[in-house]
Structure 1
């Protein structure tokens, strides 16, 4: 893609992210045709917003796919109520574990070992990724369009710190959702089978790009239960198996 087309696409997506409005898919010269195109648009959105990166979402790569997107610092919440875009009367969330880095992992020439990555993780928190797209509901965007847009991330709620060793072993987690009259038990499974594996991939991917993880950043690596819709203006409780309990409430942006 030409640099002007990348910037034009990024302006469109950045404006929608700020306003909360959705719109049609990127088209014509603005539409990404390759992974490099999509990642270039994603990076240009970062530059236009001028918002620090508070963390990353990632997943294991697949054929022709890389799964990563920045989580902007201003959208990371620790205290209620958490502000979110409300769609069709609900806030879309995904229950995850967040790996938090106190010291960071700066870019360097040689790869980081698993032990080095684990040593840099200062804590693991229960988390909810806040989900939202800058595209209209129909037609469904392609993976490249979604990647350019930041893989439907609108923010992150960080809950309590949990036992690190137990979190690393949590390939499965029963997620109990309670809100009002709702009391639902979900059979949670990590999509990678190992909550640490996508993080190890992300560290190496960023390192190869000359970028590192910064102090204070949090990384989420996949939802245990897909999308969980929660109501705004009503407290909700999510129990992550034996790891702990996350309490949250949302208000509309």
Structure 2
């Protein structure tokens, strides 16, 4: 039987102590994903209490082949985003505040109406009817110097799928064909990588269909106003010095954040 409360307390202490990421599955009898998400729920509750922060929405990770290959995990994972970790484009983060900060470039959506067991979309078209806005976004991930060659999926999920915050661009109430939209990642004005909406499970709304069912299985649901990160179009980038990361989505605009090595 999983020791969820003890595992969540241990993960929180490891973050406080800046302990490098490692598997805790044997220490706390974590046998499967259900166990891992039970620990995640306890960890998120502790973080909410510590920060006096509500859940602003959710992240979906590992939604592109390149991200799944990077982490060696062949399916999506989910996590919660706390409201105190939601940032506006144009701000900055201090790298020394993190053990090892990564940046992922994504399409964020704002949910327009409650989605519960009574109404769970089953197609991309039905999902689109529940979306109030689309924005370019960056996810901040704290991998605590994880070794990707021996990455333990269950500990990763238990650790709230590594979410350390999100940076949001301006939300647009209409959008072009998201399969074809190109995302361009730039570092200090120089192109680093490119991706397309279709790289995210064929369409960025497909992960949302997965999330609806994931939440329903755990007695939860997407609500109007929730922000959801649909997954990175390109592999995680790890800033190492003073640099500005910009992610643009054509007519959908851009999001930008600066990362500083020191004050």
TM-score interval, smaller chain: 0.7 to 0.9
Q: Normalized against structure 2, the TM-score is what?
A: 0.78
Aligned residues: 247
Structure 2 CA distance, aligned partners of 1:38 and 1:188? 30
Residue 159 of structure 1: aligned partner = 169
1:122 aligns with 2:129: no
For the residues of structure 1 that align with 2:131 and 2:8, how far apart are their CA atoms? 32
SS in 2 for 1:129: strand
**1:203-218 mapped onto 2 (5 Å cutoff):** 203-218=212-227
Could you tell me how far apart the structure 1 residues matched to 2:119 and 2:91 are? Answer: 42
Is 1:224 the counterpart of 2:233? The answer is yes
1:99-138 counterparts in 2 under 5 A?
99-105=109-115, 107-114=116-123, 115-134=125-144, 136-137=146-147
Matches within 5 A, 1:1-253: 1-2=1-2, 5-17=3-15, 20-50=18-48, 51-58=53-60, 67-83=77-93, 85-86=95-96, 91-105=101-115, 107-114=116-123, 115-134=125-144, 136-137=146-147, 140-162=150-172, 164-166=174-176, 168-171=177-180, 173-179=182-188, 183-189=190-196, 190-230=199-239, 234-250=243-259
Distance 1:10 1:90 in 2: 20
Query: Is the contact between residue 9 and residue 31 of structure 1 (CA under 8 Å) also seen in structure 2?
Result: no
Tell whether the 8 Å contact from 1:188 to 1:225 is kept in structure 2 after alignment: yes
Greater shift in the superposed pair: 211-220 or 10-19:
10-19
Give the match's secondary structure for 2:194. Answer: strand
Give the superposition deviation at 1:33. Answer: 1.8
Unaligned stretches of 5+ residues in structure 1: none
Q: For 1:219 and 1:177, how far apart are their aligned partners in 2? A: 23
Higher mean C-alpha deviation, range 217-226 or range 182-191: 182-191
CA contact (8 A) 1:16 1:134 kept: no
Q: Deviations over 1:130-189 (max 9, x none)?
A: 1112565477331112111122221111112246331x523552414041xx51252314
Residue 243 of structure 1, CA deviation:
3.2
Secondary structure of the corresponding residue to residue 14 of structure 1: helix
Structure with the bigger percentage of strand: 1
TM-score (norm 1): 0.80
Deviations 1:179-207 (A, max 9, x none): 1xx51252314231211101112113323
Q: Which runs of 4+ in 1 moved over 6 A?
A: 61-64, 87-90
Q: Secondary structure at the residue paired with 1:10?
A: helix
- Of Structure 1 and Structure 2, the greater helix share is in 2
Q: Which deviates more, 157-166 or 195-204?
A: 157-166
Matched residues in 2 for 1:173 and 1:85: separation? Answer: 28
Q: Contact conserved, 2:187 with 2:243, CA < 8 A, in 1? A: no
SS of 1:246's equivalent? Answer: strand
